[in-house]
Amino acid sequence: MYTRKEQLMIKALNQAKLAYKKGETPVGAIIVRDGQIISRGHNLKETKKDVTSHAEIEAIRRAARKLGTWRLDGCEMYVTLEPCPMCAGAIIQSRISTLYIGAMDNRAGAAGSAIDLFRIGQFNHRVDVVIGLLFEECGELLKDFFRNARRDADKGYK
Amino acid sequence: MYTRKEQLMIKALNQAKLAYKKGETPVGAIIVRDGQIISRGHNLKETKKDVTSHAEIEAIRRAARKLGTWRLDGCEMYVTLEPCPMCAGAIIQSRISTLYIGAMDNRAGAAGSAIDLFRIGQFNHRVDVVIGLLFEECGELLKDFFRNARRDADKGYK
């Protein structure tokens, strides 16, 4: 039996699976306002040949288009992997209220792993961050992707 | 008499002036490869209602479209203001080789002011950063913009 927040992370995981099917590192995000999902995004960096097309930024841009403003005050984001500095910066600037993170990114994560951008006081917005929501499920999908990528590399596919 | 690098920062300043004319915080950027300008960008956050439409990201996305890849190895960026964390993250991820900065952003800058993302060793790319190229000219344009914005606010325009 999943909680409501876990159910929303599962929606983000479904986005991550869409990325996986396209050969992208499987990361997904959704944005919720007043309990409703207002946008979804998954990593499309390779597909779009755009370094900024991470799941979080895809979702932020889509939410802004939908709401007609870049201000996402009162919105929550659910993302399957700890954001990188670029995405953490975009989340802070868009004024998202609460961020729910699944798995952590020990190498490049910006919510406590490589750095914690959410604890720098001088930015003009403070995001509440909740870590570890369905972290096993979120992490397993990524591990599976990288296992397969290595196996393909070993076979000389890449 | 301007050096070649100063001449390129003046091109970025010209981009910043385009942002100013549109009522945007005046920041401009250009990307150079093999001595040639391959893309330009200016801040369009309010115009596009997109929090990610900072000058640097506008220029990065345009360069990627032009080159047909998100990899901007061997490219230099000239930007009139110290990048925020979002843009610094995008610059690192796009693998830009060298970053030339005009004015510093004491509040939110991510190249040494609020934080220095360019000195975190564990990211998989290292950008060379040069600070203070035409910093007076770059800073003066921003100061002029904020002086006018305050004056308009005092008059009750906003």
B45, B65, B68 ranked by CB distance to A70: nearest: B45
| pLDDT of A158 over the 50 cut | no
> How many C-beta neighbours within 10 Å does residue B35 have?
8
Q: What is the pLDDT of residue A156?
A: 61
Which of A64-68, A142-146, B68-72, B152-156 has the weakest average pLDDT?
B152-156
Percent of chain A whose predicted confidence (pLDDT) is above 70: 97
| pLDDT of A100 over the 90 cut | yes
Q: Alpha-carbon torsion B45, B50, B55, B59, what sign?
A: negative
Chain B residues 63-122 with a CB less than 8 Å from chain A: 64-65, 68-70, 84-90, 92-94, 107-108, 110, 114-115, 117, 120, 122
Domain ranges of chain A: 4-156
Most confident of A126-130, B122-126, B146-150: A126-130
Q: What is the mean pLDDT of residues B32-52?
A: 98
Is A51:B69 a contact under the CB 8 Å cutoff? no
3-state secondary structure of B153: helix
E strand segments, chain B: 28-33, 36-42, 75-81, 98-103, 128-131
Distance CA B13, CA A138 (A): 44
Give me the torsion for CA of A51, B130, B53, A46, rounded to 10°: -10
**A138-151 per-position pLDDT tens digit:** 999 999 999 998 88
Q: Say which CATH superfamily domain B4-156 falls into.
A: Cytidine Deaminase, domain 2 (3.40.140.10)
Q: What is the pLDDT of residue A124?
A: 81
Report field, pTM of the whole predicted structure over 0.90? yes
Which of A5-9, B95-99, B154-158 has the weakest average pLDDT?
B154-158
With cut-offs at 50, 70 and 90, classify the pLDDT of residue B1: confident
Taking alpha carbons only, the member of A14, A158, A41, A156 closest to residue A96 is A41
Q: What is the mean pLDDT of residues A59-73?
A: 98
Q: What is the mean pLDDT of residues B123-146?
A: 95
* Chains A & B: contacts with CB separation below 8 Å: 99
With cut-offs at 50, 70 and 90, classify the pLDDT of residue B157: low
**B62-106 per-position pLDDT tens digit:** 999 999 999 999 999 999 999 999 999 999 999 999 999 999 999
A51–B120 CB contact, under 8 Å: no
| pLDDT of A153 over the 70 cut | yes
B33 contact A CB<8A: no
Q: What is the mean pLDDT of residues B27-35?
A: 98
Name chain B contacts of A70, Cβ cutoff 8 Å: 45-46, 49-51
B47 contact A CB<8A: no
Q: What is the pLDDT of residue A89?
A: 98
Does B42 belong to an annotated binding site? no
With cut-offs at 50, 70 and 90, classify the pLDDT of residue B158: very low
| pLDDT of B59 over the 70 cut | yes
Q: What is the mean pLDDT of residues A21-49?
A: 98
A50–B64 CB contact, under 8 Å: yes
ipTM of model: 0.94
Percent of chain B whose predicted confidence (pLDDT) is above 90: 90
Q: What is the pLDDT of residue A157?
A: 52
User: Using N-to-C axis directions, what is the helix angle for B4-21 and B135-154, rounded to 10°?
Assistant: 10
Task: Determine whether B56 is an active site residue.
Answer: yes
